[in-house]
């Protein structure tokens, strides 16, 4: 099995593309944003750390995190964002590695990891064989973000500034998926990248590598025991 990192800018279309991989193409997909929500549920270690770092004013009446409030703090303050990242990212990585193992046991050829900050944090980069960037024009990104999250232009731009630009991300990846047109056009672009992933023999090399490692370990046991 090999891992594919899927990234892009905020609201550039990662979830839209992941949905096509998962629902139309039956691919194994893991979404870092969903994990990021799970690991900060009340009672989880990351929740307790966020509460002591940011205070009770970032909680809703029912004790859950007020995500809008926390977002409005961290997207306007790089130091606070760094503090939140330092609490949440290790928990996301741990959960993600666990979910990858489950897909490995199910025998998938590859798993797609939807990670918004793939190139910024670099945490999962050592494990990735191919990376994909979903891109659209900056003005489309701004418009889609403002509409979806009901944000002012200033707040939307602050969120966009918290990440590498889409052009920087495109220069770092293996494949790009153009999401500047209709969702149907994007679907066609996803199909093309999917066929390239399916044609890859990387999983065979990785399996061969693991097999060789087992032989070496077995040989070493025989010599030393």
Ligand X SMILES: Nc1ncnc2c1ncn2[C@@H]1O[C@H](COP(=O)(O)OP(=O)(O)OP(=O)(O)O)[C@@H](O)[C@H]1O
Ligand Y SMILES: CC(C)(COP(=O)(O)OP(=O)(O)OC[C@H]1O[C@@H](n2cnc3c(N)ncnc32)[C@H](O)[C@@H]1O)[C@@H](O)C(=O)NCCC(=O)NCCS
CB of 182 to ligand X, least distance (A): 6
Candidates 47, 116, 169, 173; binder of ligand Y (CB under 6 A) is 116
Would you give the distance in Å from CA 152 to the centre of its chain? Answer: 25
Candidates 1, 4, 28, 162; binder of ligand Y (CB under 6 A) is 162
Toward ligand Y, which CB reaches closer, 20 or 58?
58
Q: From CA 182, how far away is CA 178, in angstroms rounded?
A: 10
Binding partner of 5, given ligand Y, ligand X, none, CB within 5-8 angstroms per partner class: none
Q: From CA 27, how far away is CA 187, in angstroms rounded?
A: 14
Binding partner of 94, given ligand X, ligand Y, none, CB within 5-8 angstroms per partner class: none
CB of 9 to ligand X, least distance (A): 7
Pair type for strands 110-114 and 175-178: unpaired
Candidates 59, 132, 142, 186; binder of ligand X (CB under 6 A) is 186
State yes or no: residue 13 binds ligand Y (CB under 6 A).
Answer: no
| Residue 128, SS3 per DSSP | strand
Q: What value, to the nearest 5°, has the Cα angle with vertex 6 and ends 4 and 8?
A: 155
State yes or no: residue 88 binds ligand X (CB under 6 A).
Answer: no
Taking CB under 6 A as the criterion, which residues in 15-34 touch ligand Y? Answer: 32-33
Residues contacting residue 108 through CB under 8 Å, at least 6 positions apart:
1, 27, 28
């Amino acid at each position: 099995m090999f891992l594919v990192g899927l990234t892009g800018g905020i609201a550039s279309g990662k979830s839209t593309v992941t949905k096509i991989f998962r629902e139309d193409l039956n691919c194994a997909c893991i979404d870092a944003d969903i994990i990021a929500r799970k690991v900060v549920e009340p009672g989880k270690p990351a929740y307790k750390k966020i509460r002591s770092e940011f205070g009770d004013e970032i909680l809703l009446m029912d004790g859950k995190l007020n995500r809008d409030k926390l977002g409005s703090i961290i997207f306007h303050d790089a130091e606070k964002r760094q503090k939140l990242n330092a609490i949440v990212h290790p928990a996301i990585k741990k959960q993600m590695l666990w979910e990858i193992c489950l897909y490995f046991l199910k025998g998938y050829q590859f798993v797609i990891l939807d990670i918004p900050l793939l190139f910024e944090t670099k945490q999962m980069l050592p494990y990735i064989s191919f990376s994909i960037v979903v891109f659209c024009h900056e003005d489309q990104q701004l418009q889609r973000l403002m509409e979806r999250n009901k944000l002012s232009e200033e707040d939307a731009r602050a969120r966009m500034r918290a990440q590498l630009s889409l052009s920087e991300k495109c220069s770092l990846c293996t494949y790009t998926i153009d999401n500047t047109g209709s969702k149907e056009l994007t679907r066609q672009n996803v199909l093309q990248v999917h066929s390239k992933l399916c044609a890859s023999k990387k999983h065979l090399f990785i399996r061969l590598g693991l097999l060789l490692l087992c032989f070496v370990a077995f040989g070493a046991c025989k010599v030393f025991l």
